[in-house]
């Protein structure tokens, strides 16, 4: 449909930005938050940090671009602090599920780290470390047999060789051994990718009950959060740090800084994102970009009824554009007043 408007992609897509150069160019606003967070995670060994905000305001995009910035030797934005050590971005965040166990989560961490190594090697045209092939094969074997119970699919990893590991099934391995495997991955990241360590993003923390959340964090304090070379980012609801401070002090004590709360992007910042997309997604680079499918005043009206949630703004814009296009496939743009906001 959007090709009819002159764009190669859905200009209102709600996909989060990825930790790559191309997407960093689409990042708008939040420079102060970005700089502050880079300072909070500055550490030579490891860190646990908290990013919060209401649903749909761009937390994942913020974290991904911060991690991309931390993977570079030079700042990507003027005035932005750079991390003392290059760190591998997390290309596959971990979705926390109700009933999550530490063992399940540690396996997800291994899967996520291996996927991040694969993606980074692909983006930078490097070879995947041969030393990790055996672990990759084992994870690939576990996912089809146990992965559904762990909340995994075959997507994050993939290997073809047989495994020579002492353990074969997920039931055979302990949480301590899984931590040792994570440490080995970090070691190979340092050796082959010449980075200090890796990011690991834990998402969906707001969907589990508070008691379960506190219990899980207390257990991770003795496993995942203790691993050198691992920068763990907790992504969740506003006030999450305060909850930890009150009910899991031993966890809050190791958190870098306190809590980076992301306010909604402003109306003008949302329009700047669309302007960048308008130029990026135009099908004919030799001519000026086509106008947005919806007029600016229409988009502003949608924003003002959205509580600043960029995801709901773009979803509403996309729904309206599709509905009108179905009725009139030759339409070039949609003015304010066509439909209800």
pLDDT digits (tens, 9 = 90+) for 257-292: 888 999 999 999 999 999 999 999 988 888 888 888
Percentage, residues of the chain above pLDDT 70? 84
Per the structure block, which two tokens stand in for 326?
């179905």
Is residue 56 predicted with pLDDT exceeding 90? no
Output the pLDDT for position 46.
87
User: Is the CATH number 1.20.120 carried by domain 30-261?
Assistant: no
- Distance CA(87)–CA(81), nearest Å, equals 14
Domain residue spans in the chain? Answer: 2-14+266-327, 30-261
Output the pLDDT for position 72.
84
Determine which helix (DSSP H) or strand (DSSP E) holds 3, and give its type and residue range.
none
Output the pLDDT for position 332.
62
pLDDT digits (tens, 9 = 90+) for 58-96: 999 999 999 998 888 776 766 565 556 689 999 999 998
Output the pLDDT for position 302.
92
Percentage, residues of the chain above pLDDT 90? 38
Average pLDDT (198-212) is 91
- Label residues 130-153 b or e (16+ Cβ within 10 Å = b): eebeebbbbbbbbbeeebeebbbe
In the beta sheet, which residues pair with residue 48? 232, 255
User: What's the mean per-residue pLDDT of the chain?
Assistant: 83
Output the pLDDT for position 315.
93
- Distance CA(96)–CA(105), nearest Å, equals 8
Output the pLDDT for position 187.
92
Alpha helices in 99-248 (DSSP H): 102-124, 133-150, 175-192, 210-220, 240-247
Contacts of 70 (CB under 8 A, 6+ apart): 38, 41, 82, 83, 86, 87, 89, 199, 231
pLDDT band at 167 (very low <50, low <70, confident <90, very high): low
pTM for the model stands at: 0.85
């Amino acid at each position: 449909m959007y090709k009819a408007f002159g764009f190669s992609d859905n200009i209102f897509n709600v996909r989060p930005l990825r930790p790559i150069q191309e997407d960093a160019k689409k990042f708008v606003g939040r420079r102060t938050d970005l700089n502050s967070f880079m300072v909070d995670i500055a550490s030579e060994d490891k860190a646990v940090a908290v990013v919060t905000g209401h649903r749909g305001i761009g937390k994942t995009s913020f974290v991904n671009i911060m991690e991309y910035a931390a993977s570079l030797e030079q700042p990507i934005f003027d005035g932005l602090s750079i991390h003392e050590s290059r760190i591998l971005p997390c290309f596959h965040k971990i979705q926390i599920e109700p009933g999550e166990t530490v063992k399940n989560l540690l396996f997800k961490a291994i899967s996520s780290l291996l996927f991040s190594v694969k993606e980074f090697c692909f983006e930078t045209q490097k070879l995947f470390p041969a030393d990790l092939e055996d672990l990759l094969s084992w994870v690939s074997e576990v996912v089809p047999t146990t992965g559904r119970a762990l909340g995994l699919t075959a997507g994050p990893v993939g290997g073809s060789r047989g495994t020579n590991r002492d353990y074969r099934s997920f039931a055979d391995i302990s949480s301590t051994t899984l931590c040792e495997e994570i440490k080995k991955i970090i070691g190979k990241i340092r050796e082959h990718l010449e980075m200090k360590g890796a990011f690991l993003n834990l998402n969906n923390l707001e969907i589990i009950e508070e008691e379960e959340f506190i219990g899980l964090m207390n257990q991770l304090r003795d496993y995942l959060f203790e691993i050198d070379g691992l920068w763990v980012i907790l992504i969740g609801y506003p006030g999450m740090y305060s909850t930890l401070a009150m009910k899991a002090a031993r966890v809050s004590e190791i958190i870098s800084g306190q809590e980076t709360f992301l306010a909604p992007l402003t109306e003008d910042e949302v329009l700047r994102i669309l302007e960048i997309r308008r130029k990026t997604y135009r099908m004919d680079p030799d001519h000026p970009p086509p106008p947005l499918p919806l007029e600016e005043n229409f988009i502003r009206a949608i924003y003002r009824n959205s509580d600043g949630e960029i995801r709901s703004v773009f979803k509403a814009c996309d729904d309206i554009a599709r509905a009108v296009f179905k009725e009139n496939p030759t339409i070039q743009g949609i003015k304010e007043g066509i439909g209800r906001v």
